[in-house]
Structure 1
Amino acid sequence: MRRHDSAVAEEQRFLDIATAQRDRLAAHLAAELAVPAEDATERARHRRLRRQYEELPADGLVFGRLDGRDGTVLHVGRAGIRDEDENADPLVIDWRAPAARPFYTATPVDRQGQARRRHVRTDGPVVVGVDDEPLDGTSTGDLVGEGALLSALNERRTGTMSTAISTLQREQDDIIRAEATGPLIVQGGPGTGKTVVALHRVAYLLFTHRRMAEQAVLVLGPSVRFLTYIAQVLPALGETAVVSATCDTLLPGAQVERTESRRVAEIKGRAAWQPALEAHVRSLLPRARELTLRWEGEAYVIGADVVAQMLASAVPGRSYHRARTAFAEQLFQVLAEAVAEQRAALLDEMEEGFEEILARFDRGGRPDGVRDGRSGSDVDGLMSEEEIEELRERIASHEVIGRFVESVWPTRDPADVLRYFLKNPAFLSAGEAALVAAEPGTWASSDLPLLDAVADLLGSVASPAAQGEFIADRARSQRDWVYGHVVIDEAQELSEMQWQMVLRRCPSRSITAVGDIDQAEAAHRHTSWAQAVHATLGDRWTAAELTICYRTPREVMALTGPVLERAGSRNSPPRAVRSSGIAPWERFAIADRLTDAAVEAVEELRKRWEGGTVGVVAPVARIDALLPVLEGVPVLTATQAKGLEWDAALVVDEAGIAAEPRGWNGLYVALTRCTQELGRLHVS
């Protein structure tokens, strides 16, 4: 005990030193930021200083220590803290730095030069405990810092996710630090830390690849509720160059207005829509034909062959509206040159028969042959290049010419184009086309990826610069923003057309997708990752797997085998490494008494887990009856509960959940939301 007290006191002394240095750095940065930035260079410097200021943590300053076999000591924290002596080694190393990696990966078998790992537990500025892990033994256990990890897992849930940088495990750290050179798809069952890995990978990538912060990172989640749950993690890690969204909120200016049948959602989610929409937008392009324009009372004819050349130059590689702009610019130039040529021809006609008289004049000079340096139509009637360019600008801004261009190549609204196409999607079978055509004109969830595709194919009529002081604000407001990296949580739910939405925003394919294919409940028919991504990624993706369940107790995971079997799973469930000591329990109630029984069970759970959280998962058909009587408690469908966790969970009417579409997958989700206690309320 005395040794433990001594270690706590030792770490408290160090934490006090680190805290004082952090405060000095914060004061220095605040003073620098208080000086107004007067030019672009100073504004760029301010952005760097602001990032440094934001990265200074309010807590979690130090959470670990590595004692090297050579006697070196490194302290690991949420952010790097340099020593007051700038020539000295850092006082605290950032958890993302290469030097910190042994804190997560060293084992007694693979010591990586380390003699001991110490987890430091703090409460604000106070060290409340340490867990020492010697690395000179022969243990091959799965867990790094087992005491600290299990202590964190046994804490009450607060309803929001916190960081886990002090308790990351080796297989998690391997994925967090993996290269971001292409799509990485991470399969992980319940409680394996998929979301933790995804978010900490964002923080790691932004730290390691500073230029990525200039493009921002997109985090896609399954629901707004889920995004609220994880909202504090990245800011706590000092990262702000992040845009969080769902597929339903990703397209600026569009929103889901109605629900739809699973059958129609499955049809609209197929990859075949992409080439069909591309063909439809191509069909809207003008065809080569002779064009007649009027300028200042004169008619000018542009032949069909010239128009064909203009189209061939304008269209390839451009969206509909950008091609329209390129075509219009060529048209303005051709018309300006035609006007100049016609003027020259008229001048030649007028001069015919007066050659001898005109020969006495030196074009560009006076009758006596003295040149005055002038040129252009004022001198010889021929327009100079400058005059032709001035004419082209007048043509381009002329209202009548603008209306002519609009008649030849009209601007298009993505919503109108898509609504027209949905009325006759000829590439579908007759029965499927009829189902789609019968849908109302408002948007359902599966329409938004199609609308996004059309908006991309049409392109913007104009591309205004994105507004906002912060990079995330600018990225969020601009549909065609290109992100440095995209993270997708619950990626198994994405349709093929939603994957297309992702690729448009990250053409580099720097993507991390995490999920559990066995928890898939979406309308698509994919039962493996290969099926889910083949249409968009082909075989060009890397697979990784999280195999250890940290959150869900063994007692609960023992129930999932038969459920996975009924769901048609091809995967082995993750191996639970902790026990809550509480066996799942069951109760039965007749249908008329089900809500009363649910209220009674929830009240018991809330008393047992006071200070923590309790959640209820039920079939869609039961939600409306349960919500009014269970105020203050999350009452969710299995789909809505995905990604969330509570200390205790009550699953109401398992049979009803299993009877829903892909219901066994949903039941797998429902059973695995708790960290401590699971109750099951059946309908008898």
Structure 2
Amino acid sequence: MSRDAEENAIAEEQAFLDAALARRDRVAADLTAALAAPATDDVARARLRTLARQHEEITRARDGLVFGRIDGLDGTVRHIGRIGLRDDDEQADPLVLDWRAEAARPFYTATPVDAQGLVRRRHIRTTGSVVTGVDDEPLDGASTTELVGEAALLAALDQRRTGKMSTSISTLQREQDDIIRAGASGPLIVQGGPGTGKTVVALHRVAYLLFTHRRMAEQAVLLLGPSPRFLDYIAQVLPALGETAAVSATCDTLFPGVTVERDEPREVSEIKGRALWQPMLQRYVRALHPRPRDLTLRWEGEAYVIGEPAVAAALTSATSGRPYHRARAAFAEQVHQLLADAVAQRRADLLDEMEEGLEELLARFDRRAKTRVDPDRHAGSDVDGQMSDDEIDELRERIADSAAVAAFLETWWPSRDPATALRRLLGDAPLMLRLTPDLSEAEAALVAAEPDPWASSDIPLLDAVADLLGDVAAPEQQGEFTADRARRQRAWVYGHVVVDEAQELSDMQWHMVLRRCPSRSITAVGDIDQTEASHRHTSWAEAVAATMGERWTAAELTICYRTPREVMELTGPVLAKAGSRNAPPRAVRSSGIDPWELAVAETAMPAAVEAAVAELRQRWEGGSVGVVAPVTRTAALRDLLPGLPVLTATQAKGLEWDAALVVDPDGIAAEPRGWNGLYVALTRCTQELGRILPTPV
């Protein structure tokens, strides 16, 4: 494109952006006025929540409102943006087409070979409300590139990293878009190596699903990440895409009010993560149910016995398909009815006895007085021995409100605290062995020897026990957004769950995910070759076999956009030593900087690291630098480098910097599943990789 042509294109797009921003401002003002109206009933409150969500979406959409344009062979022109905007004429075509709309899809998928009715695709670069550049991509000729909007993509990849992930709606690639828009009726597991955009796909898929399936927003979407640091890194993406109906969490924070307080040995973590705990805990909670026997209850000073057969029948009915506490409540209702029936029956029997005695007395009197007494005078409802249905219902309600009856039932069938119940089990090795044949004595002893504070592997077990016992519903607060309600309630059922770094989940963590989405509308993204968790899974089939069997769909991201070709060339031997079954992703860009390494004596390591970091910071000023090191070195390095991210390979998972310094790569490889960890460490940079190795003593 000539300079004059580019200036004309920029002016053209500036005029359009000005019109779009003006329309956005008018819509925002209308929404602000509508939100000022009082909410007088539930319908009005629901409407205000919808308007508030729309206002939030349109407010955040000012920056980057328009980023693309597609020109059709038929002369039609459509602008693509962060949100959809209609002109003042609501019947006209959209002024700006939402990037998630089906009509916008050719922006991401059209190629010169498959132009999909387009003649040109234009990427529009903006800063605030100013158009700063355009990149035109003709679609009516031959092309050798496999990238969509190559110039815009490479420009975005070469930008400095700020420590926060930004949206990628203007540079999504075809294989990413295919996964973002895939169906959501069952589990979709996406394998993708470093730099393939797994997290980008996961986040934009959330935004796409909430836009496409409006009812999903009523249930919210759960986004599970590997660490709080990772969630902080991606925190601004979904709000920038205008989505508020998403809850972000880690597996450790999914149980409200419970905090992980300690680390534990990997061997214990692996044991607690196995699928065997789910049936074991089911048997454990089932064993907490009381056994049938005669129950003696007191009512108004008299004892009433509910026989064992009636108790057994009530237990069978109450426990069928119900968690512990709901079964307990259902049983209590039946006991209230049984006791009411027993009281009514005793009253009837007593009145029958009284009536028989009265009739005999009257008969003797009749013989003496030679007179007759009309029996109908004594056969009314007051003396026939039968309570009316209304009277029995009233009696049952009084029994249900009785503190004495409630205390009796609490003693015989106590309510249970999930934490107390689980701690009792985990501290009792013989009990664990009685409940499952799949634990060895040594393994049960290892689990029982652990201290009380919760470890990460305890959270899925606690969640399972709480689910089997049953929760008390959290009260709803007026005006609350769906995501806020979902965040407070452990048993909330989500419309969809997205799991990032899904290869790290244990079997019991997968069970925790499925409890929150019984429909199994799940998207899991990860790289099985980056697995560092204590479980033993080395393939996706192994990772999900215990919870999903074969009922899941596989997808793959094959192109590495982030990590330079120079760095990816180092990963082959590392993957081989990690036992990988996958081909590494194919890098499509070069940074022009070869990875470098420096070997120094152990005593010189601190100074060498400090100097290397200073050089990298200077070279990548305005961007970001990160350090990855073995667990044993991170504390000292953090003291040496305050304010700089110094992480283990596990903590660095999912993050990226302009430059990464890997300290003691052999030390990382020597850790459990260390070759997988080294693969993670080597692939965190977008531009430059340095390695510092301690020389042998």
Q: Give, in whole Å, the separation in 2 of the partners of 1:87 and 1:505.
A: 41
Give the whole-Å Cα distance in 1 for the aligned partners of 2:300 and 2:560: 78
Residue 342 of structure 2: aligned partner:
338
User: What amino acid maps onto 1:648 in structure 2?
Assistant: A
Q: Do residues 463 (structure 1) and 473 (structure 2) align?
A: yes
Q: Is the 8 A contact 1:466 1:478 kept in 2?
A: no
Q: Is the 8 A contact 2:352 2:384 kept in 1?
A: no
Q: Which moved more, 1:51-60 or 1:485-494?
A: 51-60
Superposed CA deviations along residues 83-105 of structure 1, whole A, max 9, x for unmatched, are 11112111001000000000000
- Alignment partner, residue 539 of structure 2: 528
Match of 2:618 in 1: 607
Deviation at 1:362, TM superposition (A): 6.9
Structure 2 counterpart of 1:268, from 251, 272, 282? 272
Residue 573 (structure 2) aligns with: 562
Question: Which residue is 2:211 aligned to?
Answer: 207
51, 54, 61: which one aligns with 1:52: 54
Aligned partners of 1:466 and 1:477 also within 8 Å? no
8 Å contact kept, 2:474–2:489: no
C-alpha displacement of 1:463:
2.4
Q: Which runs of 4+ in 1 moved over 6 A?
A: none
Distance 1:466 1:437 in 2: 39
State the distance in 1 between where 2:679 and 2:424 align: 41
How many Å separate the matches in 1 of 2:97 and 2:553? Answer: 30
The structural deviation recorded for 1:326 is 0.1
Instruction: For residue 464 of structure 1, report the CA deviation from its aligned partner.
Output: 3.5
For 1:532-611, list aligned pairs within 5 A. 532-611=543-622
> Which of the numbers 452, 474, 477 marks the counterpart of 1:441?
452
In structure 1, give the amino acid aligned to 2:576. E
Which residue, out of 651, 666, 673, partners 1:655?
Answer: 666
CA drift of 1:140 comes to 4.8
- Superposition deviation, residue 358 in structure 1: 6.2
Q: Is the 8 A contact 2:274 2:508 kept in 1?
A: yes
Q: Cα deviation per residue 1:54-92 (whole Å; 9 max; x = unaligned)? A: 221121110000000111000000000111111211100
Alignment match, 2:138: 134
Q: Which residue of 1 aligns with 2:686?
A: 675
Distance 2:619 2:215 in 1: 49
Q: Tell me if the contact between 2:352 and 2:385 (Cα under 8 Å) persists in the aligned partners.
A: no
The answer to whether the Cα contact below 8 Å between 1:109 and 1:140 also exists between their aligned partners in 2 is no
Contact 2:304 2:342 in 1 (8 A): yes
Of the three residues 353, 361, 364, the one matched with 2:377 is 361
Question: Per-residue displacement from partner, 1:323-344 (whole Å, max 9, x unpaired)?
Answer: 0000000000110011011101
In 2: Cα distance, 1:572 partner to 1:359 partner: 98
Shift of 1:400: 1.0
3-state secondary structure, aligned to 2:252: coil
Paired position in structure 1 for 2:10: 8
Tell me how far apart the structure 2 counterparts of residues 535 and 232 of structure 1 sit (CA, whole Å).
Answer: 34
Inter-CA distance 358–287: structure 2 relative to 1 (3 Å threshold)? farther
CA distance in 1, matches of 2:378, 2:590: 104
- Cα deviation for residue 625 of structure 1 reads 1.3
Structure 2: how far apart are the matches of 1:360 and 1:380?
Answer: 11
Amino acid at match of 1:15: L
1:371 equivalent in structure 2: none
Query: Could you tell me whether the CA contact under 8 Å between 2:187 and 2:522 is conserved in 1?
Result: yes
Question: Residue type of the partner of 2:549?
Answer: G
Are 1:225 and 2:229 counterparts?
yes
TM-score, length of structure 2 as denominator length: 0.95
Mean alpha-carbon deviation: is it higher for 44-53 or for 536-545? Answer: 44-53
TM-score by length of 1: 0.97
| Cα contact 1:218–1:485 (8 A) shared by 2 | yes
* Alignment partner, residue 480 of structure 1: 491
Contact persistence 1:467–1:473 (CA under 8 A) = no
* TM-fit CA distance, 1:398: 1.0
Corresponding position of 1:635: 646
CA distance in 1, matches of 2:133, 2:38: 44
For 1:179, the equivalent position in structure 2 comes to 183
Q: Distance in 2 between matches of 1:161 and 1:256?
A: 27
**Aligned to 1:488, what secondary structure does the other structure show?**
strand
Equivalence for 2:419: 415
Residue 184 of structure 1, CA deviation: 0.4
1: CA distance, partners of 2:162 / 2:65: 21
The aligned counterpart of 1:290 is: 294
2:202 aligned residue: 198
Contact 2:295 2:306 (8 Å CA) reproduced: yes
CA RMSD, aligned part only? 1.1
Structure 1 CA distance for aligned equivalents of residues 36 and 62 of structure 2: 20
Structure 1 Cα separation of the partners of residues 114 and 377 of structure 2: 96
Residue in 1 that maps onto 2:26: 24
Which 5+ residue runs of structure 1 have no aligned equivalent? Answer: 365-374
The 5-angstrom pairing of residues 55-204 of structure 1 reads 55-56=57-58, 57-204=61-208
Task: Quickly say closer, same or farther: Cα 1:383–1:140, change in 2 above 3 A.
Answer: farther
Partner SS for 2:377: coil
Distance 1:236 1:464 in 2: 30
Q: How many angstroms apart in 2 are the aligned matches of 1:270 and 1:253?
A: 24
Q: Is there any run of 5+ residues in structure 2 with no aligned partner, and where?
A: 363-372
* Contact residue 144 and residue 167 of structure 1 kept, 8 A: yes
What number of residue pairs does the alignment pair up?
A: 671
Letter paired with 2:21 = T
Aligned residue identity for 1:31: A
Q: Give the superposition deviation at 1:141.
A: 2.4
